[in-house]
Amino acid sequence: MNTLDYAELLSRLEAKVDRMIGQIGTKSPHFAGVDGKYDDLQTDWWTSGFWPGILWVMYDMTGKSSYKDAVWDKDEELERWFITSTEQLHHDVGFQFLSTAVIKHTITGDADGRRRGLEAANFLASRFNLSGQFIRAWNADKYGWAIIDCMMNISLLFWASRVSGDPRYRHIAVRHAETTMQYGVRDDGSVNHILSFNPESGDFIEAFGGQGSAPDSSWSRGTAWALHGFANTYRHTGDIRFLNTAKRIAHYFLASLPDDHVPYWDFRLESFENEPRDSSAAAIAASGLLEIAEAVPLAEKAVYSNGAQRILKGLTERYATWELPGHEAILLGGTGSKPGSFCVDGSLIYGDYYYIEAIAKLNGWKHRIY
């Protein structure tokens, strides 16, 4: 395999992100369509932490004060939702605060970052259903729902337990991971998106397709969330069950990839003709595969490291916007929700984030937050 020069790629990303600062400005970006312009959503939306996360990772890797200056107040902006309205906040406070308050505290020691991260962790912990042993997804009447995405959010609880010394956060995270492992991961390594429980008794009812094509299909980004999330859970706990689960999902993910190593939005479509890819699933999985590679014995490392590098090579050579300086995103080919006809075949800010996170890891980045 012809490998990329990851130090040179980080330099290319530095030039790209420098342009993005001017292009994105004060926006809270989520999706860019054919015009290459990121939208601007309210910061209570679940993706509001990823653009700040990009800036923090780039600051940590380069030391350039322009990145820190551009991102310093973002966690304060997010904290205002705890004061004004928490109606739109839910299980994804992990995504929002890990890449803002938590990484800010981790890199700089900022006391307000620590306080805000713990505030978010308290909110996430409050969503734990004791009977079902899961963290509730979303709001409204979805009292008994849990989703595969939340495997990434529980890193906030592991961090909170570590910095506070309180094991309760960790206990909740582990219980949620165990429940997801039991009901969310299939024998072949594919995963369910939405799990439904009786919120009173905690009994499992059924799995829903959610953003996959059907209840028994295989949504590629959900698979990537699970791969990365269980790898993180192993790193935080040392519990081999979680590493073995991450490996099983990784083997399924890698075996399901097309020739350019960037998945379609679902692995189990009747036909892939004219179906969009999801570059965000590829980037998330690449970063997670690097986590697994660090955790396994030397004889196994190449399986996961090479898998990650093949994915990154495909993204870098076929999906990146290097030749489009006016484009505000890094990666093309992202699909948010094909069943919902929402953010299809464009650029997703979390795809950009995890692509940079993976490149940073290959350049020795140590301040892991997920």
Q: Is residue 39's pLDDT more than 80?
A: yes
| Predicted local distance difference test score (pLDDT) of residue 86 | 81
Reported confidence tier of residue 322, pLDDT bands at 50, 70, 90: very high
Q: Are the C-beta atoms of residues 177 and 171 closer than 8 Å to each other? A: no
Pairwise CA distance, residues 100 & 56, whole Å: 8
Rounded CA-CA distance 297/57 in Å is: 28
Average pLDDT over residues 37-51: 98
Q: How many CB atoms lie within 10 A of CB 224?
A: 31
H or E element in which residue 105 lies: helix 103-108
Distances (CA, A) of 270 to 207, 224, 273, 324: 20, 21, 9, 34
CA-based end-to-end distance of the chain: 28
Secondary structure of 311-360 in HEC code, one letter for each residue? HHHHHHHHCECCCCCCCCCCECCECCECCCCECCCEEEHHHHHHHHHHHH
Q: What is the pLDDT of residues 143-166, one digit of tens each?
A: 999 999 999 999 999 999 999 999
Range 189-201 burial, b when 16+ CB lie within 10 A, else e: bbbbbbbbbebee
Q: Of all residues in the chain, what percent carry a pLDDT higher than 70?
A: 100
Q: What is the pLDDT of residues 70-110, one digit of tens each?
A: 999 999 999 999 998 888 899 999 999 999 999 999 999 99
Q: What's this model's pTM, rounded to 2 decimal places?
A: 0.98
Q: What was the pLDDT predicted at 207?
A: 96
Give CA–CA dist 166/210, Å, rounded.
34
Give yes or no for residue 127 having a pLDDT over 80.
yes
The encoded tokens of residue 344 equal 């299809």
Boundaries of every domain in the chain: 6-362
Q: What was the pLDDT predicted at 175?
A: 98
Q: Report how far Cα 2 is from the mean position of its chain's Cα atoms.
A: 27
Q: Band of the pLDDT at 2, cuts 50, 70, 90?
A: confident
State how far the Cα of 217 lies from the Cα of 195, in Å rounded to an integer. 14
Q: Looking at beta carbons, which pairs linking 204-208 to residues 24 or more positions away fall under 8 Å?
A: 204/132, 205/144, 207/183
Read off the tokens for 201: 């008794």
Task: Reply yes or no on whether 149 is catalytic.
Answer: yes
Q: Which residue has the tokens 């993910």?
A: 253
H or E segment at 134? Answer: strand 134-135
Q: Which amino acid is at 211?
A: Q
Q: Which fold has domain 6-362?
A: Glycosyltransferase (1.50.10)
Predicted pLDDT at 93: 98
Percent of the chain having pLDDT more than 90? 96
- For the segment 121-136, the average pLDDT, to the nearest whole number, is 98
pLDDT digits (tens, 9 = 90+) for 200-249: 999 999 999 899 999 999 999 999 999 999 999 999 999 999 999 999 99
Q: Which of 44, 60, 75, 149 is catalytic?
A: 149
pLDDT-based confidence at residue 3 (cuts at 50, 70, 90): confident
CA distance 159 to 257: 33
Q: pLDDT-based confidence at 1, cuts 50/70/90?
A: low
Chain centroid offset of residue 304 CA: 18
d(CA 134, CA 202): 9
Residue 188 among the catalytic residues = no
> What CA–CA distance (Å, rounded) separates 224 from 219?
9
Residues 215 and 213: their CA atoms lie apart, in Å, by 7
Q: What is the DSSP string of 215-228?
A: TTS-BHHHHHHHHH
Q: How many CB atoms lie within 10 A of CB 239?
A: 14
Which entry of 44, 60, 75, 92 is annotated as an active-site residue?
Answer: 92
Kindly indicate the confidence band of residue 348, based on its pLDDT and cuts at 50, 70 and 90: very high
Of residues 116 and 209, which shows the higher confidence score? 116
Count Cα neighbours of 160 within 13 Å in the Cβ-side half-sphere.
Answer: 28
pLDDT attached to residue 223: 98
